[in-house]
């Protein structure tokens, strides 16, 4: 196992030397349900481990694909992550949620793998996203001048009677969403996967990615808008 | 074309301003004043209501995307490793 990973602490997803600088360690980040799962895992309950893998594997693969070029490599990164989880479980003290700890390991391994393979220089989806001032919605969709400047010129058309379930029944919409997620730069993809796909609390996402809440919402909204725009094109 | 009436302008927000704050608004992570201004704007702007609904819908749908599972051989190796590590 990578020595760096062995040193990785679950407390706040940072390395020990960095964690001292941050006081934001929860005294107990675990819910009662998580306590039960961890107890079952530490007892060697294979069913509990299978459930854990089923619960988090999708999000881990989707997140890994922000850093590496294809699904196959992403699966390898996630496999390494699960191996590290197995190895580190006995040292997990529950100062963050189990999910936060697992995602922290994944992000570290995926970044490491992406850099080692130098994929980030050739992988088109790995565009850097540094400009938090860029607007989420295409500015040309708004009136540019006059009394109504800044109001819709080309507004979104309603998606009739859509619910999440109905949207997901449309293969066109699902494909558009998946393609849009895959095409996101990693900085947008990681916040979208953690917050919307995995349902991680906004504060925990900030802690894991070491970003401010302002950064989080700027990136999250840009990511959501890109996915919305893809669905709009597909079904609009 | 927009249907924003003068009430839209009273909110102090243009549609363009509002679209930048939608995710914070949906997460209820926004000051009361901004929340009131957004509410006032939404009350009179059907296009922005549509936009907010679509962002909310996409965000909700993302949590229900089809699951991905590990390839069978990978899962088997994980199960073996787990059993070896935690066998009593």
Query: B55 in a domain, yes or no?
Result: yes
Instruction: Say which residue the tokens 């009350």 belong to.
Output: B43
The whole-angstrom separation of Cα B2 and Cα A218 is: 25
Q: What are A141-176's pLDDT values in tens digits?
A: 999 988 888 999 999 998 876 777 777 778 888 889
Query: B1 in a domain, yes or no?
Result: no
The interface pTM score, or ipTM, of the predicted complex is 0.84
Query: Domain ranges in chain A?
Result: 3-121, 130-235
Nearest CB partner across the interface for B68, out of A61, A152, A162: A61
Instruction: Count residue pairs from A and B with Cβ separation < 8 A.
Output: 160
Instruction: Say which residue the tokens 């565009």 belong to.
Output: A127
Query: B14 in a domain, yes or no?
Result: yes
Query: B68 in a domain, yes or no?
Result: yes
Query: B74 in a domain, yes or no?
Result: yes
**Domain A130-235 CATH class label:** mainly alpha
Give me the mean pLDDT over the B56-76 stretch. 90
Give pLDDT, residue A8.
36
Residue A61 with chain B: CB contacts under 8 Å: 68
Cβ–Cβ < 8 Å for B60, A164: yes
If we measure between CA atoms, which residue out of A39, A149, A82 comes closest to residue B15?
Answer: A149
Cβ–Cβ < 8 Å for B48, B19: yes
Instruction: Say which residue the tokens 């490599």 belong to.
Output: A73
Q: What are A173-201's pLDDT values in tens digits?
A: 888 998 899 888 888 998 999 999 888 88
* Domain enclosing residue B13, as ranges: 6-86
Query: B77 in a domain, yes or no?
Result: yes
Query: B67 in a domain, yes or no?
Result: yes
Cα separation values, A211 from A45, A64, A98, A189, Å = 36, 19, 20, 14
Give pLDDT, residue A79.
97
The CATH number of domain A3-121, selected from 1.10.1060.10, 1.10.1740.10, 1.20.1260.10, 3.40.50.620: 1.10.1740.10
Instruction: Say which residue the tokens 């070896």 belong to.
Output: B84
The whole-angstrom separation of Cα A10 and Cα A94 is: 8
Please name the residue of chain A whose CA is at the shortest distance from the CA of residue B6. A148
If we measure between CA atoms, which residue out of A17, A86, A210 comes closest to residue A8?
Answer: A17
Query: B28 in a domain, yes or no?
Result: yes
């Amino acid at each position: 196992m990578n020595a760096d990973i062995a040193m990785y602490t679950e407390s706040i997803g940072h390395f020990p030397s960095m964690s001292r600088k941050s006081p934001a360690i929860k005294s107990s980040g675990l819910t009662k349900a998580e306590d039960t799962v961890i107890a079952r895992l530490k007892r060697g309950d294979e069913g509990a481990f299978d459930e854990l893998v089923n619960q988090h594997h999708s999000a881990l693969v989707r997140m890994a694909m922000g850093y590496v070029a294809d699904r196959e490599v992403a699966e390898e990164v996630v496999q390494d992550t699960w191996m590290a989880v197995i190895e580190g479980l006995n040292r997990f003290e529950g100062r963050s949620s189990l999910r936060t700890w697992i995602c922290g390991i994944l992000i570290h391994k995926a970044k490491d793998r992406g850099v080692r393979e130098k994929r980030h220089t050739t992988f088109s989806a790995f565009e850097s996203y540094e400009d938090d001032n860029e607007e989420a919605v295409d500015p040309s969709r708004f009136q540019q001048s006059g009394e109504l400047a800044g109001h819709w010129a080309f507004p979104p058309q309603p998606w009739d009677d859509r619910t999440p379930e109905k949207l997901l029944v449309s293969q066109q919409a699902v494909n558009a969403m998946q393609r849009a997620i895959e095409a996101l730069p990693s900085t947008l993809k990681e916040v979208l996967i953690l917050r919307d796909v995995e349902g991680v609390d906004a504060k925990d996402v900030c802690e894991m990615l070491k970003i401010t809440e302002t950064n989080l919402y700027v990136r999250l909204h840009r990511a959501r808008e890109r996915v919305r725009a893809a669905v709009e094109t597909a079904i609009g | 074309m927009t249907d924003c009436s003068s009430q839209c302008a009273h909110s102090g927000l243009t549609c363009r301003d509002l679209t930048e704050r939608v995710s914070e608004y949906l997460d209820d992570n926004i000051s009361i004043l901004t929340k009131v201004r957004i509410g006032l704007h939404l009350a009179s702007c059907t296009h922005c209501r549509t936009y907010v609904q679509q962002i909310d819908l996409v965000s909700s749908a993302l949590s229900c995307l089809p699951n991905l599972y590990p390839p069978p051989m990978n899962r088997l190796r994980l199960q073996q490793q787990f059993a070896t590590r935690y066998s009593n």
